[in-house]
Amino acid sequence: MNNRRILHVDMDAFFASVEQRDNPTLLGKPVIIGGAQDSRGVVSTASYEARRFGVHSAMPISEAKRRCPSGIFLPVNGAKYREASRQVFTVFRRYSPLVEGLSLDEAFLDVTGCETLFGPAVKIAEKIKFEIQSEVGLTASVGISYCKFLAKMASDMEKPDGLTIIQPEDLQTRIHPMPISKLWGVGKKAAPQLERLGIKTIGDAARMDLHTIRRYVGSLADHIYSLAQGIDSRPVEPFHVRKSIGQEVTFAEDIGDIEFLHTTLLSQSETVARELRQRHLEAKTITLKLRYPSFQTITRSQTLFEPTQLDDILYQSARVLLEKCELKSHDKVRLLGISVSGLAPERVQQQVALFEEAPEKPHNLMKAVDLIKDKFGERAITRARLIKNKQKP
C-alpha cells in the first residue's frame, strides 16, 4: 500500500483569492467573504491579509469586524466560485481519472501509475500548480504522500502556494510533534478530551494505550491510533457520494414569528428537494437545525417511512421537527436550517413529458417545475403562499 502516490490539492483562501483576482484593488487587503458587512452570518473565507488579524472561517462576521475593522466584507458569489472550481477540476482530470473532490476547492488525486505518462508525482504537482496559476489565475497548495491522511496534512504545511512531500520516514519528525487537534477526524469536542488523557500531540496518539483510550473515546481511538501510525488505506474515490444536502440561514435579526419560520422552512425544503432531483437522489432522513440568539444550537431528526425527493414531504417533516423544538412564545431564533441524509439513488420514476401530457404524479410535477426553472429562472414559478393578515386584533 505504500506504493501509492496521492496528491491533496487545496486552493489558497479560495473565495477571497477569486475576488482579489477579479478586482486588483483588493490585492494585499484583508478581504473577508461571508455576507455583507451588516450580516450576522459567519466568515466563509478570509484572505491571508485578514488572517493576520485573527480572522478565520466559521467565525461570526461580527467578531471578524471587531478584529479587523479595516476588512473588506463581500457576499458569497457562489456562481463565480463554482466556475473557478470547474476550471480547477478540469486541470486535475488531465493528470488522473481518480479525482475525489472534497469541496469546491479541494481534492485528492491518486496519480499512482500516471507517472510513466506525466513524470514523478512531484512533477505532476508542479504542472498542476502551474496550470491553475496560468489558466485560472489562482494559487494552490499541494501535499504528496502515500496515503490520504498524510497528503492532506502535507498540503497544509507550507500554505500558501506550497508543495510538500511527506515520506514514511518523515512521520516521526514532521507529523508526530503536531497538536492532536490537527489529526483528521478529531473535532473540537474530542481534542480537549484527548488532551486530558495526556494525548497532546499526534505522536502521543501513536504511542497510546489503545485499550485504555477506547474506554474514553470509543472507536475514534482506533481511527486516531491508525492515522497517527501513518496507516490509512482509504482509496481515492472519484464518485464519492455526498452524505448530506442542506440549506440554512442566519436571519438578519432574531425571529420570533412562527409563520416566518414556516415560510423559511418551505423555501429551504424546495431548494433541498430540487437539489436531490438534480442529483437523482432520494433522502431517508431529515434534520432540522435551530440556533437561539444565545448561540445554543439544537438539532432534531426524523427518518422517513420511505425515501423522498419531494418538497412537500420535506416541508411537512421539517414542520414536525420544528414543533419538537418546543419554542416558547417569547423564544427567538437566530439560525434555521434543514439538511437531508441517508441519500440513495432515486428509484426509477416515469420520465416527464413536459407540455405533452399533464404530469399526474407529484414527482413528475416537480420535475416539470424544475425544467421551467432551468429554462426561465428560479422566480419563474413560485408557490402561491397564503400570507396571513397579521393585523393585531
Residue 105 or 311 having the CB closest to Mg ion: 105
User: Given the C-alpha cell 402561491, which residue does it identify?
Assistant: 384
As measured in angstroms, the least distance from the Cβ of 3 to Mg ion is 28
Cell of 248: 440554512
CA distance 183 to 206: 11
Q: Which amino acid is at 58?
A: A
CA distance 290 to 270: 18
Residue 11 or 194 having the CB closest to Mg ion: 11
- Render 96-117 in DSSP notation, one character per residue: -S-EEEEETTEEEEE-TT-HHH
Residue 5 or 152 having the CB closest to Mg ion: 152
Residue 99 or 340 having the CB closest to Mg ion: 99
Cα three-residue angle 348-352-358, rounded to 5 degrees: 130
Q: Is residue 106 annotated as part of the catalytic site, yes or no?
A: yes
- Render 1-20 in DSSP notation, one character per residue: -TT--EEEEEETTHHHHHHH
Binding residues (CB under 5 A) for Mg ion: these are: 10-11, 105
**H helix runs in 142-297, sequence order:** 148-155, 190-196, 202-206, 210-217, 220-228, 258-278
CA-based nearest residue to 48, from 62, 34, 64, 28: 28
As measured in angstroms, the least distance from the Cβ of 148 to Mg ion is 16
Cα three-residue angle 337-81-11, rounded to 5 degrees: 105
| Helix 121-131 and helix 78-95, axial crossing angle in degrees, nearest 10 | 150
As measured in angstroms, the least distance from the Cβ of 9 to Mg ion is 9
As measured in angstroms, the least distance from the Cβ of 139 to Mg ion is 10
As measured in angstroms, the least distance from the Cβ of 10 to Mg ion is 4
Residue 105 or 270 having the CB closest to Mg ion: 105
Task: Measure Cα distances from 241 to 129, 237, 302, 354 in Å.
Answer: 27, 9, 21, 29
Residue 109 or 276 having the CB closest to Mg ion: 109
Helices (H) and strands (E) in the chain, counts: 14, 13
DSSP annotation of 170 reads G
Cβ(71)–Cβ(38) below 8 Å: no
Q: Which of 49, 100, 106, 270 is catalytic?
A: 106
Residue 14 or 225 having the CB closest to Mg ion: 14
Q: What is the CA radius of gyration of the chain?
A: 24
As measured in angstroms, the least distance from the Cβ of 140 to Mg ion is 8
CA distance 357 to 352: 9
As measured in angstroms, the least distance from the Cβ of 105 to Mg ion is 4
As measured in angstroms, the least distance from the Cβ of 143 to Mg ion is 12
Cell of 321: 421537527
Residue 164 or 268 having the CB closest to Mg ion: 164
107: β partners = 9, 101
CA distance 261 to 263: 5
Q: Supply the residues annotated as catalytic.
A: 106
